[in-house]
Amino acid sequence: MEIDRVDGRTENQLRPLACSRNILNRAHGSASWSQGDTKVLAAVYGPKAGVKKNENPEKACVEVIWKPKTGQIGKLEKEYEMIVKRTLQSICILTINPNTTTSVIVQVLNDDGSLLPCAINAACAALIDAGIPLKHLAVAICCCLADSGYVILDPTKLEEQKMKAFAYLVFPNLILSVLPEGSLKVVGEPMEHAIITSVTQGAMSVDDYLHCLDRGRAATAKMSAFLRKTLQPQISSDSSKAG
């Protein structure tokens, strides 16, 4: 199906991705992630001694602080904080550093649509940079549904406003480490097909949603390849230094 997007992309085409790591001097880990004009900077401090509020003798705690580009934080930012926090908690191995807190600070540099997915990607890259033990990576994408039923990926702000509905989806990335046999598959579905996070807005039919899932899944495979490609050489050089 032919559709016209303002910037001339095809429906499946993502905006140019850019990711750089270790850009802040004082943070334990930091990364910036940009998708076209949307750009987010994330910094990780920790694991540090647990503060009283989040104390848990059995598990580590992740806290997320969302800093908007301008202005005060409102309900939207509070919701994003909660979603990013729960998403990151689900990919971290929390039992390794019990009774600690890891702070993730998300600073929005520019918002041109798909802000939450971009922030999740940035936060995930920053966690890798900080060397926080993770179960797997998380890759986030925004799928937009138009009135005529077609799905476009990674919309800009203008497209987000024009569309009938959109879904922010977060998928797990392939595990390369060793896992017990059989834990990867549940009822015959590979693990990368499961969703970590789903946030939708606007009414759509159930079939449209499942269609969005398929398309998002296909796109995140590309994005996770990109994430690995950018992060791997740097990490392997780090570890050789340490050794």
Partner 1 sequence: MGLPDASGDLSSEMEVDAFRRLFPLRFYERHLAESIRPDGRPLGRARDTTIALGAVASADGSALAKIGSTTMLAAVKMEVMTPSMESPDEGCIAIDFHMPPICSPIVRPGRPAEAAPVVSKQLSDTISSSGMINLKELSLVSGKAAWMAYLDIYCLDADGALFDAALLSAVAALFHLQIPAVSLNDDGKIVVSEEDGGKLEKEPVNKEKRKLTLRSIPFSLTCILHKNYILADPTSEEEAIMETLVTVVLDSSSQLISLYKPGGAVLAYTSAVQDCIALTRQRVWELQKILDEANSGMEVD
- Chain positions contacting partner 1, by CB under 8 A: 74-76, 78-79, 82-83, 85-90, 165, 167, 170, 172, 186-187, 189, 191, 193-206, 208-210, 213
Closest contact distance (angstroms) between CB of 50 and partner 1 is 17
Chain Cα centroid distance, residue 18: 14
Closest contact distance (angstroms) between CB of 157 and partner 1 is 17
For partner 1, the closer of residues 25 and 148 by Cβ is 148
For partner 1, the closer of residues 162 and 229 by Cβ is 162
What is the rounded CA–CA span in Å between residue 224 and residue 134?
A: 15
DSSP class of residue 189?
B
Contact 41, 82 (CB under 8 A): no
Contact 42, 107 (CB under 8 A): yes
What is the rounded CA–CA span in Å between residue 3 and residue 145?
A: 12
For partner 1, the closer of residues 18 and 194 by Cβ is 194
Of 201, 145, 137, nearest to 171 by C-alpha is 137
For partner 1, the closer of residues 150 and 209 by Cβ is 209
Closest contact distance (angstroms) between CB of 203 and partner 1 is 5
The DSSP line for 97-161 is STTEEEEEEEEEEE-SS-HHHHHHHHHHHHHHHHT--BSS-EEEEEEEE-TTS-EEES--HHHHH
Closest contact distance (angstroms) between CB of 99 and partner 1 is 18
For partner 1, the closer of residues 45 and 168 by Cβ is 168
Element (H, E) at 29: strand 29-35
Closest contact distance (angstroms) between CB of 51 and partner 1 is 14
